[in-house]
A and B are shown apart, each in its own frame.
Chain A
Amino acid sequence: MWEYTDEVKEHFLNPKNVGEIENADAVGEVGSLACGDALKLTLKIDDTETIVDAKFKTFGCASAIASSSALTEMIKGMPLAEAEKVTNEDIANALGGLPKEKMHCSVMGREALEAAIADYRGVILPMAEGEVVCECFGVTDLEVKRAVKESNLTTVEEVTNFTKAGGGCGKCHDRLEELIQEVREESPTPAIPDQRPKRMTNIQKIKLIEDVLEKEVRPNLRKDGGDIELIDVDGDFVTVSLRGACGSCLKSQTTIKEYVEKKLREQVLDSLVVEEAKA
């Protein structure tokens, strides 16, 4: 059973503003039956561009209904210029939070609001023009990138929680991975990109280990008159032999653990264990 907050339960059991405004000034429709949730938002907007009334109809789970209800409560009486800035986090916060797997319900609320405002202004939303990456749920690359950017998402799983993309057959996971990467590269303060491949064959792993030893480890050891040689890779166990000054050094254990292992874990695989070959 989901852990829903009291706010979610209240909005679900006693939803506010259910229905459809006749002759609405703005209509926003998102989602579909196939996706499992859908929201139709209708707004009444006055001459000062203020939302004077909002109603919704929602097909979906408790958090979808609660998100719709909370959204309409939030935007009633709001100037359009302000409503444009409402984010999915605002909706989730109004509900005291949502289970992470249900964040896409708050995203649906935000999307419906945007669609309604676009409808009022007579413009076409850029999101819909993107290229569909997730065919199961009809999510475009632009929608994915936006969610990644706004909510600082770092994994495919998070992208699925927020946008549903990747939650069906899973064929688009690689593409989602790329989109996350693209956003990180575009963003002004990029997190350090993790370039380690997710899965490696044994040969790829050995090559990568040799590479790191050659380019990073060996030059450093040589400065102290030492050297390192790769003896064997068996699963996660990497056997190396230290030469020269390092080999006789009492600190070789520390060198291996703290330095070589750390480097290899950072750049190859978190689970690697480095051991020194027995003489």
Chain B
Amino acid sequence: MISEKTDRIVYMDNNATTRVAPEVVEEMLPFFAEYYGNPSSMHTFGGQVGQKITEARQRIAALINASPEEIIFTSCGTESDSTAILSAVQSLSDKRHIVTTRVEHPAVKNLCESLYSISGHKHKVTQIPVDKYGMLDLEKYRDSLTDETAIVSVMWANNETGVIFPIKKMAAMARERGILFHTDAVQAVGKIPIDMTEVPVDFLSISGHKLHAPKGVGVLYVRKGTRFVPFLFGGHQEQGRRGGTENVASIIGMGRACELVAARMDDENTRVKALRDRLEEGLLQAVPRAILNGHKTERLPNTSNVSFEFVEGESILLHLDRFGVCASSGSACTSGSLEPSHVLRAMGVPFTAAHGSIRFSLSVYNTDQDVDYVLEHLPKIISDLRAMSPFWQETVTEKAE
């Protein structure tokens, strides 16, 4: 079979993490060895670092049309999610119900499932189901909201399928009932326009490394006037809302990255989207029994999740790896667990397809040549693996009859 080795890297795994933009690296570098002061210090040397953090806060606020005081820096998207949900659970300790979805990232899903051991209180958790396109059932959502509900936590866009949820509408429904609303917008911020003056959302999570800033920095947006209980207690950083000396260089990098993604938003939603569509249509055409997972239009412009029936995802990924193509899979074997992705299972994707799902997630750094390259190699990889699959021939002949 295939055995060539390549130096070329075609990176289509941007929902896992992104390249730190060169402009971001450049802006960060002086803050390691040169301007290493503590932003809380009284001297000018530290104070000037504090000014750069203020600037970063403004840049991030500008991306989502929020005010800078509503931005709290955290260590990652996961911390932002935990902070928001635990804050609500503690500030409304008499309300013991949480509404979320079956397709959340583990940062929300596992937290909600573990609240008992963290808070010492039992919480009822309602997980709203999705249909086969990964879309939420809004009737069920409406019915799930009760006087007991402390907070709703629904992701803005799904990391595996890219499906976008109607956050504006859902947040308004929660607001009507006086229920707090959190959205994990880790995959959405930077890819689609978001305006906090238009959505009645109380908490919103962002992660740096998904938008061309470094790993290990995140943001929690907390709407002005929302009751807040810190997750990390400590010094007076972030106005006492998150203790710990700031991750200065990364915060500055994240500020710059937010400026960049704002400027590139059009490119993402036109050129990158067209690349994604060409890749997807090319694969669906070239490979028989390939299926799109997720909604065709209500979707991030960069994400495509395609199942190749009767082959297993890890095998596909490792063959792609030989060509330097980076993607991910929702198959069981790639995770170390024995079951395929909870998102695909919630959508009712049959096992024949779930094990063979591949997610491509593009960025502004992808080119036409990248798409050509994948289209050139992937169909052959699938047909080689299918030739080896005990299920393939039977199926094809059955179909032909």
Q: Which A residues are closer than 8 A to B by beta carbons?
A: 2, 12-15, 18, 29, 33-34, 36-40, 57-62, 64-65, 101, 136-137, 160, 164, 167-168
Contact = CB atoms under 8 A, between A and B. Distances in A.
Interface in B282-317: 310-315
A62 B318 contact: yes
B377 to A, nearest CB: 14
17 contacts: A12-B315, A12-B318, A58-B389, A58-B390, A59-B311, A59-B391, A60-B312, A61-B312, A61-B315, A61-B334, A62-B314, A62-B315, A101-B336, A136-B338, A164-B338, A167-B337, A167-B338
Interface in B318-365: 318-319, 322, 331-334, 336-340, 351-352, 355
A44 B314 CA distance: 31
A34 B351 contact: yes
Interface string B272-284: 0000000000000
Given A36-B331, A36-B332, A57-B388, A65 B315 contact: yes
B3 interface: yes
Contacts of A167: 337-339
Contacts of A36: 312, 331-333, 338, 340, 351, 355
Given A14-B1, A65-B315, A58 B388 contact: yes
Nearest to A168: B339
B2 interface: yes
A14 B310 CA distance: 20
Contact of B315 (A60, A136, A160): A60
B144 to A, nearest CB: 24
Contacts of A2: 314
B318 A57 contact: no
Interface of B: 1-3, 310-315, 318-319, 322, 331-334, 336-340, 351-352, 355, 387-391
Given A37-B312, A62-B314, 7 more contacts: A12-B315, A33-B352, A36-B332, A58-B388, A61-B313, A64-B333, A101-B336
Contacts of B337: 167
B324 to A, nearest CB: 14
B282 to A, nearest CB: 25
A69 to B, nearest CB: 10
A23 B319 CA distance: 32
Nearest to B313: A61
A59 B333 contact: no
Contacts of B340: 36
Contacts of A12: 315, 318
A137 B338 contact: yes
In this complex, which of A14, A18, A57 has the most chain B Cβ atoms within 10 angstroms of its Cβ? A57
A15 B1 contact: yes
B1 A59 contact: no
B391 A33 contact: yes
A13 B388 CA distance: 12
Contacts of A64: 312, 333
A57 B384 CA distance: 12
A57 to B, nearest CB: 4
Contacts of B338: 36, 136-137, 160, 164, 167-168
Contacts of B333: 36-37, 60-61, 64
B390 A39 contact: yes
Contacts of B322: 13
Contacts of B388: 15, 18, 57-59, 65
Nearest to B314: A61
A29 B319 CA distance: 25
A33 B389 CA distance: 10
Nearest to A31: B390
Given A29-B390, A36-B338, A101-B336, A13 B312 contact: no
Contacts of A59: 310-312, 388-391
Contacts of B339: 136, 167-168
A18 B389 CA distance: 9
A194 to B, nearest CB: 25
B392 to A, nearest CB: 8
Contact of B389 (A57, A62, A137): A57
A12 B314 CA distance: 11
Contacts of B2: 13
A34 B310 CA distance: 10
Contacts of B390: 29, 38-40, 57-59
B244 to A, nearest CB: 29
B311 A13 contact: no
Contacts of B332: 36
B330 to A, nearest CB: 11
A136 B332 CA distance: 13
A19 to B, nearest CB: 8
Contacts of A164: 338
Contacts of B351: 33-34, 36
Contacts of B334: 61
